[in-house]
Amino acid sequence: ATVVTQGVRPGIISDSLVVSSDESGGYDAVAPVAQQQVDGLRFDVLAPETIPEGAVLTLTTTVTNTSDSQTINDIFLHGNVFNATYNSGPPNCTVDNGGEGGATFDCPSGGTGYSLAPGASLDFTTRVNTAGLGDQTIFWEDYATTPDIGGFSYSESGSVDVTADEGDAAPSVSIV
């Protein structure tokens, strides 16, 4: 048998199996062809452009299987924020606010990843502390890995500016 992989590019795996046979031995020729295509994972993250200092920043992420026909198994989701800490992460996830590269979360916290049927989605929300971060930027990233699509990471990243809390300004008095 000869296996030929065709049309492989980031985000898509196309496998083509070609079987050839030698008919000289008196056996009938067999040449089945099978194809599998897995399109990948799409991330949609809802995040504001700015947030006032002290308000809780909510990042809502939807991960969708974009394949029309293939379930994607063993999906592990990860995320991090730089210059901030998490107030909370998604259920059944591990949150670590003490990491060197910033606060992180890993989902699920167990050994078996998520499975998404064709077109199915998974939603999760993280809440980020913005206290003391006025006039700074919080950078965030969410990504996923799965052996079903070659172990590649699919990611989405962005940033949110934190506006300084000006508070109530003291009244000004001018004497003329």
Average predicted confidence (pLDDT) for the chain: 77
pLDDT of residue 17: 36
Can you tell me the mean pLDDT for 34-55? 79
Residue 75 pLDDT grade (very low, low, confident, very high; cuts 50, 70, 90): very high
Q: Output DSSP code: residue 29.
A: P
pLDDT over 50 at 126, yes or no? yes
Which pair of tokens denotes residue 53? 């200092």
pLDDT at 161: 95
Give the pLDDT mean for 3-16: 38
| Secondary structure of residue 148 in the 3-state scheme | helix
The DSSP call for residue 68 is S
Residue-wise pLDDT for 82-108, tens only, equals 989 999 988 889 999 987 778 999 999
Would you state the pLDDT for residue 153?
A: 73
103: helix, strand or coil? strand
- Report the distance separating Cα 98 and Cα 78, nearest Å: 15
The band of 43, judged by pLDDT with boundaries at 50, 70 and 90, is confident
Joined tokens for residue 170: 């003291």
Q: What is the pLDDT of residue 130?
A: 94
Question: What integer pLDDT is reported at residue 110 of this predicted model?
Answer: 81
